[in-house]
Amino acid sequence: MNQERDGQRFETVAIHAGQEPDPVTGAVVPPIHQSSTFKQDGVGGLRGGWEYGRSGNPTRAALEENLAALEGGRRGLAFASGLAAEDCLLRTLLRPGDHLVIPDDAYGGTFRLVAQVVDRWGVAWSVADTTDPAAVRAAVRPETKAVWVETPSNPLLGITDIAAVAEVARSAGARLVVDNTFASPYLQQPLALGADVVVHSTTKYLGGHSDVVGGALVVADEALAGELTFHQNAMGAVAGPFDSWLVLRGIKTLAVRMDRHSANAARVAEALAAHPRVVQVCYPGLPSHPGHETAAKQMRDFGGMVSFRVEGGERAAVAVCDRARLFTLGESLGGVESLIEHPGRMTHASVAGSALEVPADLVRLSVGIESVDDLLADLAQALG
Side chain identity at residue 301, one-letter code: D
**Apex 283 CA angle, 281 and 287, nearest 5:** 95
**Apex 212 CA angle, 208 and 215, nearest 5:** 85
User: At a CB cut-off of 8 Å and minimum separation 6, what does 200 contact?
Assistant: 67, 82, 85, 179, 180, 181, 184, 206, 215, 216, 217, 218
* DSSP code, position 114: H
86-to-32, 217, 237, 289 alpha-carbon distances in Å:
26, 8, 11, 29
State the burial class of residue 321 (Cβ atoms within 10 Å of its Cβ: 0-12, 13-18, 19+). buried
Active site residues: 54, 107, 179, 204
User: Which element (helix H / strand E) includes 76?
Assistant: strand 75-79
DSSP-H helix ranges across 57-203: 58-71, 82-93, 108-116, 133-139, 162-171, 184-187
d(CA 137, CA 331): 34
